[in-house]
Amino acid sequence: MHNQLETLRQFISTSNYIVFFGGAGVSTESGIPDFRSVDGLYSQKYKYPPERIVSRSFFMSNTADYYDFHKARLLHMDAKPNPAHIKLAELEKIGKLKAVITQNIDGLHQSAGSVKVLELHGSVYRNFCMECGLNYEVKFISGSEGVPHCSCGGVIKPDVVLFEEALDDDVMVESIMHIKNADMLIIGGTSLGVYPAAGLLNYYRGSKLVLINKSETPWDERADLVINGSIGEVLNAIVL
C-alpha cells in the first residue's frame, strides 16, 4: 500500500487535468449503502427486487411502492461528505481537478464543496412535476405522504435516471470532453458494470489511470495503478 500511495502522490503532483469518475462506493463511508456489495441495496429483501423498483416501468405502474423505496432507501438527507468527497473538492480548489463525474444521486460532492460535478444518474435533490414541469425541493418529497403530487395534480418525479431511461445528453457530452482532456483519471467506488456510464472510460487517452476500489473491477487490467482499499482512507492519505 505504501508504494501505491507514493505512486498516487507522484501521479497527482505531475497532473494538471485530473478527472474523477465515481460511484456508490464513494458514499459508503458516509453511511449510504452501495448497490452490489454483500451489504448493498440489491442484496436486501424488499417486496419487489430493488433492481426492478428503480426502473421507469416500475415507477409508472407502482408509483406508491417506488416512493416507499425512494424515501426509505435513496434519500439520505442527513449524510455528510466523507474524506473522499472532501479531498476531491480540495483538489479542484487548487486547480488540479477539473471535474467529478458521478453515478451517485446523493449530492455529497457538492456538499463537500465540489463545483464541477457531472451527475450521470441525476440527483434526488431535483424533482419535477411530470405534467407541468414545476420543480420541487427534496423536502417536499420527504415530507409528503405516499406519492407526492404537484399543485396542478400531476405526479412529481425525482430527477434520477431510472433503468430504461436515457442519460442526459449534455451531461454525457461534457463528461466525454473532460475525460478526453484528462491527463489523469481516478476511478473509485464503482463496480463499473453499468452502461452507458462505464463506457465513458473508453474516452480516456492518458497514461495515469488509477482505480481505487474495495473489490476487483473489469477495468483493473487496463489501469496504471490499482489500489484495493477504502477510497476515503486512500484519498485522505494524500497531502496536498
Report if residue 37 touches ligand OAD, rule: CB under 6 A. Answer: yes
Contact residues for 46 (Cβ-Cβ < 8 A; gap 6+): 53, 69
DSSP assignment of 102-165, as one string? Answer: E---S-HHHHHT-S-EEETTEEEEEEEETTT--EE-HHHHHTSSSS-B-TTSPBEEEEE--BTS
As given in the structure block, the three cell numbers for residue 211 are 482505480
Cell 463525474: give the residue: 101
> Of 70, 85, 109, 121, which one is the catalytic site residue?
121
Binding residue for ligand OAD (CB under 6 A) from 29, 106, 119, 183? 29
d(CA 134, CA 116): 25
- Binding window for ligand OAD (CB under 6 A); candidates: 1-9, 127-135, 138-146, 207-215: 207-215
Report if residue 190 touches ligand OAD, rule: CB under 6 A. Answer: yes
Binding residue for ligand OAD (CB under 6 A) from 189, 200, 206, 223? 189
Binding mask 90-119 for ligand OAD (x = CB under 6 A): -------------x----------------
Cβ 19 vs Cβ 179: under 8 Å: yes
Sign of the Cα torsion 183, 187, 193, 196 reads negative
The answer to whether residue 70 is catalytic is no
Binding mask 220-239 for ligand OAD (x = CB under 6 A): ----------xxx-------
Residue whose CB is less far from ligand OAD, 52 or 116: 52
Report if residue 44 touches ligand OAD, rule: CB under 6 A. Answer: no
d(CA 74, CA 214): 22
The catalytic site residues sit at 121
Contacts to ligand OAD by CB under 6 A: 23-25, 28-29, 34-37, 40, 54, 103, 121, 161, 163, 189-191, 193-194, 213-215, 230-232
